[in-house]
Amino acid sequence: MMESLIWRNATRVHDWHDLRIPLRIIDAWISLRLVAAAEWMQGSRGKQRKISVTAEGLGDLIRNEPRGRDERIMVFVGGSEPQPWNIAAVIFPKGVGMSLFNLTVECGDALPSSSVMEQRFLALYSPEIVDAAYIHADPQWKKLTADAYIPPLVTTPTFAGVFWANFLGPGHLANFDVAKLQSIEAYRTKWHGKTGLSLVSAPTLDDALTTDGEKELLRLTAEFRAAKVN
């Protein structure tokens, strides 16, 4: 069973502070109808307010929010259509901290198919974009990160273990022996030289949430753990 869709992005080594890359990710979410008009926002000052901003206006909304301490961008924004969604953005200047750009969407009939999400995910990411990205779902995400994925392969928010769709870029892939990872067999893998890896564990997200799908997630995570170098 799937309660909510989770689509997460993280980096420490890329420059997201100009918002070029986060806004490219938002465009993907909009095209998939995971994100539409925003109805509320909470910025670095911590006070939530009602807003009415089109999906196309989200970029300007985030760009115009006052910067916080260390010039960090901290924005939480969400809406109710086509199903309740929220974006959490904590973006630091390059090299200052781990930047996170995450989407959570409540499950509903309007969610795109797994095949469409997989195609967009594989097309979106490259080593120049992120250190880590993944798509999965709650409650299984909470269950795995609280139990089988302790300790995390890198960090719990960024890459605790293998999920349905995964991307590792240079900042995270450096934690593993690439030669060992290249021998891993999964439903789908796509290498970007030796600095980027896309991996999909099952044909659909629903398949990954089954008992057999979870066994495959655990198997793949054990393969990654065996390839750890740091």
204-225: pLDDT as tens digits: 999 999 999 999 999 999 999 9
Coil/strand/helix, residue 104 = strand
- Residue 59, strand partner residues: none
Cβ within 8 Å of residue 130, ≥6 positions away: 9, 10, 11, 14, 21, 167, 169
Residue type for 157, please? P
**Class of residue 179 by CB neighbours under 10 A (exposed 0-12, middle 13-18, buried 19+):** exposed
The low-confidence residues of the chain, meaning pLDDT below 70, are 1, 230
Apex CA 228: angle with CA 140 and CA 134, to 5°? Answer: 35
pTM attached to this predicted model: 0.95
Q: Beta-carbon neighbour count of residue 123 at 10 Å?
A: 10
Residue 66: what pLDDT?
A: 84
Residue 96: what pLDDT?
A: 85
Residue 16: what pLDDT?
A: 94
Residue 24: what pLDDT?
A: 95
Residue 230: what pLDDT?
A: 67
20-48: pLDDT as tens digits: 999 999 999 999 999 999 999 998 777 88
Cβ within 8 Å of residue 96, ≥6 positions away: 70, 71, 72
